[in-house]
Amino acid sequence: MIDFTPDPMQQQLIETARKFGRDHVAPAEIALDKIGDPKETFAADAYWSVLAQACELGFHKMGIMEEYGGLGLDAQSIGLVWEELAFHGAGFTASLIASSVAQQLITVMASHNKELIDQYVLPFCADRTGRKFSAWGSSEPNVGSDGKNYYDPNVRHHTTAVKKDGGWSISGTKSDFVSNAGIADVFVIFANVDPALGIRGSGAFIVPADAPGVQRGLPIDKLGLRVLNQAALYFEDVWIPEGNMIFPPGEGFPMLHQMIITVGSLAVGYLAVGLMRAAYQEALEYSKVRVQWGKPIFEHQLVARKLFECYQTIEAARALLWKASWLARTRFPGDLKASLAGRIFATDNAIRHTAEMVQVLGGYGISKEYKLEKYLRDAKLLQIMDGTNETLMMKAAAQL
């Protein structure tokens, strides 16, 4: 018999995330979202205060093994926290997710290299300031979703890595949408070593953010997820030690790329469920106090139907993600189809149902007096981040 009740440890995680989200994430996210200039957003004391408090609670290191100072949590437990935090602030949650994925890449691919673990993973886990966040960069101005075309020699990263002075020289540009690019302390960068292999000719490299030749672009001014720092990265003859290649080019690249998609999609799916829940909750509460034609609008059938369909979808999306999380727990990183099914279903429905919840509030739904217009803007970006849902669906279909 399947038990859908969170165990005591998971319940404690949820309660901790709920209190932190309610007291700190939500007020900061709302205030920061309204700042017009992104440069001011990511310089604000409120922004760094929330990141520091998230690190104090260990939410940045949930997927890192305990032996490295992480919490060593399973995929479902992590997902429960992502959902709860996203209910209060999708932008902050997306930043935590991006950093977590980058660090998991390092721990998996550099597990044999104690020097790299000591240099990058242990300080990350010990951090209480939010200043040791990480980022990973694959997409480039001319290489995006087609990077999933592993066997076309014409599709490759244009960021290159060449041997130089006993190490590697990295040169090239990563696109404007590298999450945490403007705040990260370290990057995991995909760069081409063997152009003849196309995208499979790329390796993965650890690049310190303060290495000479690294430049960050300005944070982009976005429709939604405005509290998620995203910017371009520029590398000009950036020298790194030979051991900073943590994954070599060759036939293993498709496996690595699919691992990233599997882990990342699961997290984005939970983020979408939390966001959908927030929109549903705001519309439900409003519908019970807003009176039209002599009764609360909740008692009008069309409004009640919108609300129930949103509730129904939240439950269905969560169930898909829990199944995918169970698969990840039984065999890391899990099942690509299951993770993508959960992510695509959750994110497509997040934009659909946040729009419907705006409709419940009518004119107030598009007013900044309420949070629904922000939820709608945030939801749109979830269909696009880490690959558009259309291309990811093709990727999943190929696994059938």
Same domain, 346 and 275: yes
Contacts of 161 (CB under 8 A, 6+ apart): 168, 169, 170, 191, 192, 193, 203, 205, 245
- Give the SS3 label for residue 176: strand
Residue 228's domain is classified under what CATH number? 2.40.110.10
Question: What is the pLDDT at residue 139?
Answer: 93
**Domain of residue 110, residue span:** 8-126
Same domain, 69 and 194: no
Same domain, 72 and 99: yes
Same domain, 219 and 148: yes
Q: 384: which 2 tokens?
A: 């696009």
Same domain, 378 and 268: yes
Distance set, CA 271 to CA 41, 84, 97, 123, 313 (Å): 21, 8, 9, 26, 14
**Last residue of a domain, which of 247, 275, 302?**
247
Q: How many domains does the chain have?
A: 3
Residue 122's domain is classified under what CATH number? 1.10.540.10
| Phi, psi angles (nearest 5°) of residue 190 | -95, 125
| Phi, psi angles (nearest 5°) of residue 158 | -95, -10
Question: What is the pLDDT at residue 148?
Answer: 66
Question: What is the pLDDT at residue 330?
Answer: 86
Distance set, CA 261 to CA 26, 208, 267, 326 (Å): 28, 24, 10, 17
Residue 159 identity (one-letter amino acid): T
Question: What is the pLDDT at residue 150?
Answer: 85
**Last residue of a domain, which of 126, 159, 176?**
126
Same domain, 145 and 261: no
**Last residue of a domain, which of 247, 266, 287?**
247
Beta-carbon-side half-sphere exposure of residue 253 (alpha carbons within 13 Å) = 25
Same domain, 37 and 90: yes
Same domain, 392 and 282: yes
Contacts of 302 (CB under 8 A, 6+ apart): none
Among 287, 356, 349, 282, which residue's Cα sits nearest to residue 321? 349
Flag whether 3 is in a domain.
Answer: no
Question: What is the pLDDT at residue 152?
Answer: 86
Flag whether 1 is in a domain.
Answer: no
Same domain, 271 and 367: yes
- Burial of 100 (C-beta count, 10 Å sphere; 0-12/13-18/19+): buried
Same domain, 15 and 150: no
Question: Quick check: bond before 219 cis, omega within 30?
Answer: no
Local confidence pLDDT in tens for the 400 residues of the chain = 468 899 999 999 999 999 999 999 999 999 999 999 999 999 999 999 999 999 999 999 999 999 999 999 999 999 999 999 999 999 999 999 999 999 999 999 999 999 999 999 999 999 999 999 999 999 999 887 655 678 888 899 999 999 999 999 999 999 999 999 999 999 999 999 999 999 999 999 999 999 999 999 999 999 999 999 999 999 999 999 999 999 999 999 989 999 999 999 999 999 999 999 999 999 999 999 999 999 999 999 999 999 999 999 999 999 999 999 999 988 888 999 999 999 999 999 999 999 999 999 999 999 999 999 999 999 999 999 988 999 999 989 988 8
State the DSSP string of 4-64: -SPPHHHHHHHHHHHHHIIIIIHHHHHHHHT-S-HHHHTT-HHHHHHHHHHHHTTTTSTTS
Same domain, 370 and 288: yes
Cβ atoms of 134 and 119 closer than 8 Å: no
Question: What is the pLDDT at residue 390?
Answer: 94
